[in-house]
Structure 1
Amino acid sequence: MNDQNFETSFNVPQPPAAVFDAITNVRGWWSEDVKGATDILGSTFDYAYRDVHRAQIRVTELIPDRRVAWHVVQNHFSFTEDKSEWTGTDIVFDIQPVEGGTQLRFTHIGLVPEYECFDVCSDGWGTYIGGSLKALITTGTGRPNRGEPMNASETVLSA
């Protein structure tokens, strides 16, 4: 794997099954406006944030308590010269039992520093993975997007 890909990880005291269940509950941590099944292998779901970002994503791996992977089939950004920067990339959640709980390693394969959206997208993933998804796992309540900006990058892009 290219170590230029965006990657982040965290540990939680919950078991791997709780982490897996939270990841597949995309409406609970990323966006309440996701359309389509996010917990069925081979299914495709649509993500949209205003007119700023739209994506069609296919669930390519669902290994209970171990791994979830998605493939970005189509993508559109309003704020980049190449509107389709994420198209063809893969988003991977690796779940590993560790002493005292579980480690989640998130990798967006193909989201690299050369992309115009890298800083904005890294900020977004930090908000949704390290903030909202982690909160969903540890407290049962995430902070998904409800159509309003959730971080500084989204605030600037929504203006």
Structure 2
Amino acid sequence: MVNAKNFEYSFHSKRSANEIFPILQDVRSWWNGFFGEKITGDTNKIGDEFSFSAGDGVHFSKQKLIEIQPDRELAWLVTESNLSFINDTHEWENTKIKFNLEKTDNGTNVTFIHEGLIPNIECYKNCSGAWTQYLENLEKSLNS
């Protein structure tokens, strides 16, 4: 059977969901720092769209904010992608990038899920590795 588990990364922060949520909503604050990223567009309200490019054009994607539940959940739909390092350059299209926040007694559990980024697609190894770098960086910044 083919493993169809979405890429997921979870961690705990002592910060409140109320503190964390606006940081996650501002993708420029966490989706950067490794590959010369450029982010243009808005990420504040439902329907807002932003473009992400990195690696001198090796990765381009466009995301549309489709879900906001303050202090609980954010989700973007990838509406366009051009991943020049793989055969199917549109592999991210119609996938979802989301954060779930769960309040705990001593902070917040943060879970990132890229729905559709599964082990049997070509981009999985490189993309999950890059996501891990960004999310480890985010985790460090939320726990410092």
- 2:140 matches 1:135: yes
Shift, 1:119, TM fit: 0.7
- What 5-or-longer segments of structure 1 have no aligned partner? 140-159
Equivalent of 2:120, from 93, 103, 114?
Answer: 114
Q: Give 1:13's aligned residue.
A: 14
1:16/1:102 contact within 8 Å kept:
yes
Q: Which moved more, 1:85-94 or 1:30-39?
A: 30-39
Instruction: Tell me, in whole angstroms, the C-alpha distance in 1 between the residues paired with 2:25 and 2:135.
Output: 13
1:35-50 to 2 correspondence within 5 Å? 35-49=40-54, 50=56
Q: In the TM superposition, what are the counterparts of 1:56-75 in structure 2 within 5 Å?
A: 56-75=62-81
Contact in 2 for aligned 1:22/1:137 (Cα 8 Å): no
Find out whether 1:94 has 2:100 as its counterpart: yes
| Worse overlay, 24-33 or 108-117 | 24-33
Aligned-residue CA RMSD (Å): 1.5
Number of residues of Structure 1 aligned to a counterpart in Structure 2: 137
Gaps of 5+ in 2: none
More strand by share: 2
| Amino acid in the other structure paired with 1:41 | I
- TM-score, structure 1 normalization: 0.81
Contact 2:12 2:108 survives alignment (8 Å): yes
Pick aligned residue for 1:33 from 38, 41, 45: 38
Question: Displacement, 1:76?
Answer: 0.6
Q: Which structure is higher in helix share?
A: 1
